[in-house]
Structure 1
């Protein structure tokens, strides 16, 4: 059990449920939010080990949240950020990279693939 804390922000309830179940099974403590503004609020209130942001969300996009986070004085400023997106275009990747996104995962992806990425970013891999 890792007990590491992950903030998951995605406006798709079904996907959020699937990812929460999958990551919780791996021993991560998941906090869910359904839009970018909620994610920002949580990142200002609590410390996390990693954040997973959906690119397209109401209020603020994942890229906007990441950009804000990297420029903020939040204790979470330097944590890894995984961006989930259906946008596979190079310009979207560039935008994400410029905002400080650590890892870019294109939908559809398998939950196992995400667990591998989370594990490697948090140093929980074999």
Structure 2
């Protein structure tokens, strides 16, 4: 019953000890999923990205409330972006979620709006207040 084992470990012993926090990628993915679950509309964005600005501007014009997560400002933004890429298959920003569902990027969101599908989805998500007549 010696300590030496011939089976290879996926992480070096110095990397994590039993009972320690999960890895950074796992934590970032959990954080991303928590953010998406906590808000009806989430835009993962970068402050200098013109495509992100277009999506945020569109949502603002529609009167939609949304949570913007600026990945270039967040201390763990690069980890979050990697986690989003692994989760959604989309490496670029903006990455838009409505009611926990990944909508896509700028082109996807604008196409959805042009097709008349964005406002009903935002309304259903509770991000746009239905006008009282």
- Same fold judged by TM-score > 0.5? no
- Compare the two structures and name the one with the higher strand fraction: 1
Of structures 1 and 2, the larger Rg is shown by 2
**More relative contact order in 1 or in 2 (CA 8 Å, sep 6+)?**
2
* TM bucket normalised to smaller: 0.3 to 0.5
TM-score with structure 2 setting the length: 0.35
TM-score, with normalisation over the residues of structure 1? 0.37
